[in-house]
Structure 1
Amino acid sequence: MHFQHSSDIWRDFPQLVPAVIYAEGITADVTPDARIAAYAGRATARLATASEGELPEIQAWRRTFSAMGLKPTQYRCASESLLRRFRKEGALPRLHPLIDLCNAISIAYAIPIAVFDVSRIMQFVEVRYATGEETYLTFSGETEHPPAQEVIFADAEGRAHARRWTNRQSGLSAVQATTANVLIVAEALHDTAAEDIGSLVTTLTDDLNTLWPVTPKHTILTPASPRFDFTGE
């Protein structure tokens, strides 16, 4: 199995810095509360001096959404949506230890993080422009067809596992209590993206190794090295 961005995505967004992590042996019986609290504290400190929409990480995604023809205050990137909810409610809902951890790291860094159950993916995931023929399963069980040119995460069977560049993750491959093997993707486009993505990967892989423990495989992709190969079972 593998993960990659299409050449069109690299052409249109050359500032993109994506990191990919693959981990086996995830369980739902871990308690990451202390780490979640620490990352929430970092987010709180940042929001004390600026709103989420003023953060450079979020501003870069807003520009990207505008370039895709989406209204950035109508369709917010995943990290902005989480930060907005966190600012209003003071906490994020608990869903699964891994998702809770990734959401907390996402608001600490203001960088979107997507997590996929690898057992629900066919052969590969490619971030690319939709053709209009792909299918997307909502969390309520409805099937949608992303319009042509929307940025999606698609597998070999034309199933979209995320819409609007991680703005909406599919109910098909969302992490569940039975999930064991996961693919984690973090992407940034701001000026210090390379440095911040590197720090995020170190933080998340250390947490994965400590909490479960697992030995994640990871890399940061570039136009010259755009593909990440992983086992996937």
Structure 2
Amino acid sequence: MYFQHSTEIWSEFPELVPGALVADGITADVSVRDRLTPFHRTAEERLATAAEGELPEIQAWRRAFSRMGLKPTQYRCASESLLRRFRKEGSLPEIHPLIDLCNAVSLAFATPIAVLDVTEIADHIEVRHAHGDESYLAFSGETENPDPREVVFADAENRAHARRWTNRQSRLSAVRDTTSTVLIVSEAMHDGAAEDVPRLLSAVADELSAVWSVSAKSTVLSRSAPRFDF
């Protein structure tokens, strides 16, 4: 299996810095509540001096969404949506220990993180422009087709595991209680992303080791080395 971005995506977004990580041995029977606190505190400190839309990481994604023809305040990247909810409510709902951890890291770094159940991926994930006939399973249970040229996470069976790039994941490969092997993807476009994405991956890997005693395989991708085999 592998993860990559299409040549066209790299051409259109040369500032992109993606990181990917794979881990096996995840379970749902652990508590991570105490481990969320440092990440939440970092987010609180950042939001005390600037609204989420003013953070450079979020501004970079807003510019990317505008270039994709999307209204950035109508379709927000996942990290902006999390920060917005966290700012308003002071917390995030508990979903699954791994999701809770990755959401907390996403808050601290203001960078979107996707977590996918590898068993639901057919052969590979490629971030590419949609043809318009891909199948996307929404969390409502409805099946949708992305718009042509929309950026999606597509697998070998033409299923979209995310719509509008970092806006919305699919229910199909969402982490659940039976999930064991995961692909974790984080993408950034801001100045300093080349330093921040490796730090983000390291933070996630440290949490995986501390909570589940698993070793993760990770890499930072580039236009010259765009593929992550796992």
**Class of the TM-score when normalised by the shorter of the 2 chains:** over 0.9
Q: Which amino acid aligns with 1:30?
A: V
TM-score scaled by structure 2?
Answer: 0.99
Say whether 1:73 aligns with 2:79: no
Question: What is aligned with 1:172?
Answer: 172
Aligned residues: 230
Question: What is aligned with 1:111?
Answer: 111
User: Could you list the per-position Cα deviations for residues 105-147 of structure 1 after superposition, in whole angstroms to 9, with x for gaps in the alignment?
Assistant: 0000000000000000000000000000101001121100001
Unaligned runs of 5+ in 2: none
Say whether 1:187 aligns with 2:193: no
1:154-233 equivalent positions in 2, closer than 5 A: 154-230=154-230
Supply the distance in 1 between the matched residues of 2:223 and 2:172 (Cα, whole angstroms): 29
Supply the distance in 1 between the matched residues of 2:176 and 2:6 (Cα, whole angstroms): 28
Deviation of 1:177 (Å): 0.3
Say whether 1:61 aligns with 2:56: no
Supply the distance in 1 between the matched residues of 2:160 and 2:29 (Cα, whole angstroms): 29
Supply the distance in 1 between the matched residues of 2:23 and 2:163 (Cα, whole angstroms): 23
Give the secondary-structure state (helix, strand or coil) at the position aligned to 1:15: coil
Deviates more, 1:61-70 or 1:206-215: 206-215
CA RMSD of aligned residues (A): 0.5
Question: What is aligned with 1:31?
Answer: 31
Supply the distance in 2 between the matched residues of 1:123 and 1:198 (Cα, whole angstroms): 25
TM-score scaled by structure 1?
Answer: 0.98
Supply the distance in 1 between the matched residues of 2:39 and 2:32 (Cα, whole angstroms): 11
Q: Which amino acid aligns with 2:177?
A: A
Supply the distance in 2 between the matched residues of 1:34 and 1:198 (Cα, whole angstroms): 24
Give the secondary-structure state (helix, strand or coil) at the position aligned to 1:215: coil
Q: Which runs of 4+ in 1 moved over 6 A?
A: none
Supply the distance in 2 between the matched residues of 1:197 and 1:139 (Cα, whole angstroms): 28
Q: How many percent identity over aligned positions?
A: 65
1:106-145 equivalent positions in 2, closer than 5 A: 106-145=106-145
Question: What is aligned with 1:96?
Answer: 96
Give the secondary-structure state (helix, strand or coil) at the position aligned to 2:21: strand
Q: Which amino acid aligns with 1:18?
A: P
Give the secondary-structure state (helix, strand or coil) at the position aligned to 1:19: strand
